[in-house]
Amino acid sequence: MSAQPLPSNENDASITTIAPKEEAPTSVRKLPPPEKPSDVRRRSHVILSFWLIVLLLGLPIWWKTTTIYRADLPLEEMLEWADGKACRPVFPLRISIQATSLQDQEAQNLLRLTQHALDDLNDFAGHHLRLQLGDEKQDSADNGSALTIRLTQGEGTTAMLDPYEPILDITYPPNTIPSPTASSSALATYIASQLRTTFAEEQATISYLLSTNSMPSEHRPLGLSPETAESLAKRTTRSLKYAPTYHLTFSLFTSGSLPSSWDIEMAIEEYMKPVLDVLSPIHNFTIDTQVQLYASPGVQNQVLNKEDLSSFINAAEWPLSPSIGGAPTINFIVFVGNQTIASASQDAAPTSQSWLIPQWGTVYLLSLPGDTTHVTAATLKQPLLTFTTHLLSLTGTPESGSLPLRLSTLARIRSADLLLRASSTLGSLARLAMALPSISIPSSVADGVTKTMSHLRLACDNLGGTEGLAHARIAEAEAERAFFEKSMVGQLYFPDEHKIAVYLPLLGPVAVPLVMGLINEIKAWRKRRRERAENGAEKKEQ
Amino acid sequence: MRQLFSFVLLSLVSFSSLLSSASAAAADYHEQLVLRPLPLSALLASFNFRSNISLSEFEAHNFRFFPRSLGQILQHAGTQELHLRFSLGRWDSESWGARPWDGAREGGTGVELWAWLQAATDEEADHKWLTLTNALSGLFCASLNFIDGTRTTRPVMSFQPEGDHLNTTVADTHLLYGVLPHEVVCTENLTPFLKLLPCKGKAGIATLLDGHKLFDASWQSMAIDVKPICPIGGECVLQIELTIDMVLDIDRSKRPRDNPIPRPPPGHELPCDTSKPYHSHDTCFPTDHQANQDWTLSQIFGRTMKGTCPLTDPAVPPVCLQVPNSRSVYHSDGVLEKKNLDRISRCFEIKPDVNFEIVLPAPEDESAVLVKPETPLLYAERSFTGHGQERGGVQTILRNPSPDTEVEFIYMESLPWFMRIYLHTMSARVQGQPSKDESLIKEVYYRPAVDRARGTQLEVRMRVPPASTVFLTYDFEKSILRYTEYPPDANRGFDVAAAVITILSPAGYNLRTTSLLCSLPTPDFSMPYNVIIFTSTAIALAFGGMFNILVRRFVAADEGPEVGLAVLKKRIKERIGGLMEKFKKNKGRKTENGVGEPREKVNNVGVETEVAKV
């Protein structure tokens, strides 16, 4: 429309153009000259090469740069550990019998019968008592036996635990020695039942630990009565998590301004140190003490009820901050004041002065004359003895048996506990990795998992010994470290809307010409093929 | 000069140790409150609590007066000496005079921490410093854990240990200094502070400490100083000194708490400056200086003092008041007033379990209302110069009021890394002289910043001649931060820590300038999306154009397929018509069941052609 045509002309033109349009609109338009085949081929090559670049270069680069690094975790194995399939906790306990007064033959016979009786009594495969004959010279600690039975002739059948050594003294009347042919013997049954009572608590605790964890049912021991389970549950919730070092804080709190000093150092040295020394193979202890005046308790009642005891600690005001450096803190508080505890039974005299706070520590109420300025070591004797007993129960030491036996039991319970804890942490980590596909897993986590599993394997093989405890300890620490890896805890929030906002402005406008080009090319290619086929058919017909 | 300098230092150290050995010989705990009315109806209250623990007890973890929570942090981080400051507000030295404690117990706005750590290497010291800041952060509910590498410096000249350190340990102690000017000091920092006191806030002068009053003050500074003290011939002790200084506005404190809105006093109650020539019965120039000097302790602090802490050293009177002896002061029963020989202060000895109250009536003698404030050795103020978002300058005005004594001091700045200073522009000149004076700056210690790793440390030893004002100026460049490095309130600006001035001669004195607010160029924070969309559009345009040129075929306008609204309409109509037909046929097929479907006509409009607009 470059030139301005005359109005009449325009009318004419419009008539001439409109008329044929109504019949066949495309017939007026000229067809473009036929394309050279080389141009068509070049166009196909261009489109093909663009698509090849996008698919072979673009996509891999995009994939490589946007994937989240996830180290390979042995998920199957980890879940196996968590389910208890990887390790069957077995505590083979060797018990040596010292029977100097018996002849070898007789002793062997007695041993065989006792073992038989034991196997009959035992219903829990994980905890196994194996008897062996020990000789006099060998010390019980050297041959790795957990307990030594010393058989001596005496008036009647008695049994007594040695309070300082892991030795069970059993006396027997001479006529109870079983004959070589006897299939059962009263003495053997007696020894077996004695052993069973000695290890009953340990057995119960370990089976309780196993039952609370996700152990397969075939390893799960039966026959835990609800009462036992309940008391064990209470005891396990009371005790602190295992740590190689505990930090003990002794605090003197007074409601007024007096007393302001105490002989705590001397009192600890005298009343508590012996027990700490005994516990030293399993735990280390660091100690600090403090005096705090004008400390008002959280409850002001004169007589404290059971409900008041839990809110007695004034956490907001009392400076009881836990120690720094990783060791858990156990608090022992002597509170000087005139408050008393209401006893459960009405008629009993109010004698109780202390209570234990699970996994935290102990409070001891000490009433002193109003003008006492200095608390002597003698006054602190009763509080410290209470603290010592509570310390044992806070560390999870069993309640029955002699002290050496209780401690060796503690080591075994602790290693089982750590083993199970580390396994369940591994399981949680595996489940976490599976549940969150967009969480990144750094290689340090994979390292931690590998280390945990190797130590768990070693711990499982040496269960019951000190080595097992050490390995279980390392495994637990490594598992915790892997689980609480810093970069995994804070998962980056990267919502899908965000991705769309980033990708769409770039990919949308680029993808449209690419896709349209491809579609058109395919259409044209199909058309060409059909035309060629038609041409071929026509040629054939001709 | 260097010899002289070290001599001064030595004498300073020995002087302080002499002082401290005298105090160490006293009891294990003492506390004192000094009240000093200041001009402009202000009142300075200085609380001081000091307790000792012998080093052997400290190492055995037996804490009595020394707080256990702080003690175990110090042990864990291998800290030899610790100084922690929480400050708020500005000390108005023009009207209030010299600072309390010669400026040794105050910090710049925000939180300041410096400590001498025992460590074999620098890396170990850094590690321990990290432990220390993190632990203190938890103890004092402050963001001390944000003192990272960029906010930590190792001052060379400015700080000297206050305690007595054994010569064997001096070699491997490291001084680290960190500052958080942005930190807002508030009640949550006071509560843990009070917990460190043996008598808590339950007895003695600490009962007067109330968060509402303390943080309402015109200026306040909380200080914690831990240092070892070895008296000659005695056992070494570790001393912790807790100090709170605050300047209260008497007017504001006297307002009732339930009705705190200020109201102007009626005209006849205004104290007028009668010396003004225009003073008459209907014009009045209010005198601020003498106004409102009548107050009681309970008006100022909101409560009376509850007895004394029974642990305190009875030889030290718990409360002292610095007003001229001629002024009469009333006090409650069971209190013994002792006027000191210097005629400007008096102390009160208080029986335990007595509620202590003092009443200052309106002064009868107008000439002796206040103790005249001492003139400080140096006035310092610092401000930004320049304009724009790219460059700026810092100017510090240092004025020596003394007519005859020259002041020599160390001026220390620890600047954030995003203030890149041009050291060559640093100059000092005396007011009135146009050119810079080379002799003013004696020594410069400069440690340049490393981006995102450490801040600038600048220490300048300089002097100010008597009765003159010196301008210290330097320029800096503002750097642009990364997107994620901006705080949420980026447009507020970035706090720059106070400069620390340590006067070496004529006497030991410290002062700090106010902190500064540096505004950096802040981007529009929707920037990343804008950038994404902008670059994407550019790339898409370029790519689309190029791709189309390569792929499409160009033909004349009348050779291509027709385009336009009419064509589109027709096409849509055809499509719909086709669909309808198909639908009808489908229906018919269902009824007739078995009639062959005619082949759809293929729409053969050329698709690979483009209309070229000529």
| pLDDT per position as a tens digit, B221-273 | 999 999 998 888 888 889 999 999 999 988 888 877 777 777 777 777 777 77
pLDDT given at position B24: 38
CA distance B20 to B2: 27
Query: Would the CB atoms of A321 and B69 count as touching at under 8 Å?
Result: yes
pLDDT given at position B526: 78
Q: Is residue A387 part of a domain?
A: yes
Query: Would the CB atoms of A287 and B61 count as touching at under 8 Å?
Result: yes
Q: Tell me, what amino acid is at B8?
A: V
Q: Is there a cis peptide before residue A259, judged by omega within 30 degrees of 0? A: yes
Number of inter-chain CB pairs under 8 A, A vs B: 131
Query: In chain A, which residues have their Cβ closer than 8 Å to the Cβ of B539?
Result: 506, 510
pLDDT given at position B199: 85
> Which of A525, A508, A514 lies closest to A55 in space, CA to CA?
A514
What's the whole-number average pLDDT of chain A? Answer: 78
pLDDT per residue over A138-185, tens digit each? Answer: 444 445 667 777 777 777 777 777 777 777 788 877 777 777 677 777
Q: Is residue A274 part of a domain?
A: yes
Does residue B550 belong to the interface with chain A, where contact is any CB pair within 8 Å?
yes
Q: Indicate which CATH number applies to the domain containing A121.
A: 3.40.50
Instruction: Express as a percent the part of chain B with pLDDT over 70.
Output: 89
Instruction: Express as a percent the part of chain B with pLDDT over 90.
Output: 29
Same domain, A254 and A372: yes
- As given in the structure block, the two tokens for residue A21 are 């349009």
Query: In chain A, which residues have their Cβ closer than 8 Å to the Cβ of B198?
Result: 260, 293
- The three-state secondary structure class of B178 is strand
Does residue B562 belong to the interface with chain A, where contact is any CB pair within 8 Å?
yes
Which ipTM score applies to this complex? Answer: 0.74
Closest partner residue to B551 among A43, A288, A508, by Cβ? A43
Query: In chain B, which residues have their Cβ closer than 8 Å to the Cβ of A527?
Result: 604
Same domain, A278 and A387: yes
Query: Would the CB atoms of A502 and B203 count as touching at under 8 Å?
Result: no
pLDDT per residue over B380-437, tens digit each? Answer: 999 999 988 889 999 999 999 988 889 999 999 999 999 999 999 999 989 877 777 7
Same domain, A196 and A124: yes
Going from the C-alpha of A514 to that of each of B171, B537, B542, the distances in angstroms are 72, 16, 13
Query: Would the CB atoms of A513 and B560 count as touching at under 8 Å?
Result: no
Same domain, A247 and A300: yes
Most confident of B217-221, B300-304, B565-569: B217-221
Written as one string, the DSSP assignment of A336-357 is ESS-EEPPSSSSS-----EEEE
Q: Where are the domains of chain B?
A: 18-261+268-368, 379-518
- As given in the structure block, the two tokens for residue B410 are 């160390």
Q: Is residue A122 part of a domain?
A: yes
The nearest alpha carbon in chain A to B61 belongs to A288
Query: Would the CB atoms of B310 and A257 count as touching at under 8 Å?
Result: yes
Q: Is residue A485 part of a domain?
A: no
| CA-based nearest distance B195→chain A, Å | 7
- For residues A129 and A380, which has the higher predicted lDDT (pLDDT)? A380
At residue A216, does pLDDT exceed 90? no
- Within 10 angstroms of residue A219's Cβ, the number of other Cβ atoms is 18
pLDDT given at position A222: 52
What's the whole-number average pLDDT of chain B? Answer: 83
Provide the whole-model pTM. Answer: 0.77
Q: Is residue A370 part of a domain?
A: yes
Q: Is residue A541 part of a domain?
A: no
**Interface test mutation site (partner B, options A39, A288, A320, max chain B beta carbons within 10 A):** A288
CA distance A162 to A527: 102
Q: Is residue A304 part of a domain?
A: yes
The nearest alpha carbon in chain B to A47 belongs to B551
- The residues near A87 (Cβ < 8 Å, ≥ 6 apart) are A81, A419, A423, A456, A457, A460
Same domain, A148 and A258: no
pLDDT given at position A480: 87
SS3 per-residue string spanning B240-303:
EEEEEEEEEEHHHHHCCCCCCCCCCCCHHHCCECCCCCCCCCCCCCECCCCCCCCEEHHHHHCC
Query: Would the CB atoms of B560 and A293 count as touching at under 8 Å?
Result: no
**pLDDT confidence band for A22 (50 / 70 / 90):** very low
Q: Is residue A260 part of a domain?
A: yes
pLDDT given at position A143: 53
Total domains in the fold of chain A: 2
Same domain, A102 and A155: yes
Domain holding A266, by residue range, is 240-345+365-394
CA distance A186 to B81: 74
Same domain, A107 and A198: yes
Give B103's DSSP letter. G
CA distance A328 to A322: 7
CA distance B520 to B418: 9
The dihedral built from the CA positions of residue B77, B82, B87 and B90, taken in this order, carries a sign that is negative
Query: Would the CB atoms of B76 and A289 count as touching at under 8 Å?
Result: no
Does residue B75 belong to the interface with chain A, where contact is any CB pair within 8 Å?
no
Beta strand pairing call for B305-306 and B355-356? antiparallel
**pLDDT confidence band for B58 (50 / 70 / 90):** confident
Cα pseudo-dihedral B526, B532, B534, B536, rounded to 10: -160
At residue B26, does pLDDT exceed 60? no
B304 close to B200: Cβ distance less than 8 angstroms? no
- As given in the structure block, the two tokens for residue A422 are 């580390």
Does residue B278 belong to the interface with chain A, where contact is any CB pair within 8 Å?
no
Identify the domain boundary among A141, A175, A202: A202
Same domain, A384 and A255: yes
CA distance B111 to B178: 8
Query: Would the CB atoms of A317 and B200 count as touching at under 8 Å?
Result: yes
Same domain, A257 and A369: yes
**pLDDT confidence band for A90 (50 / 70 / 90):** confident
**Interface test mutation site (partner A, options B31, B51, B61, B207, max chain A beta carbons within 10 A):** B61
CATH number of B379-518: 2.60.40.740
At residue B56, does pLDDT exceed 60? yes
- As given in the structure block, the two tokens for residue B161 are 């240990």
| CA-based nearest distance A340→chain B, Å | 24
Q: Is there a cis peptide before residue A319, judged by omega within 30 degrees of 0? A: no
Identify the domain boundary among A202, A231, A262: A202
Same domain, A246 and A194: no
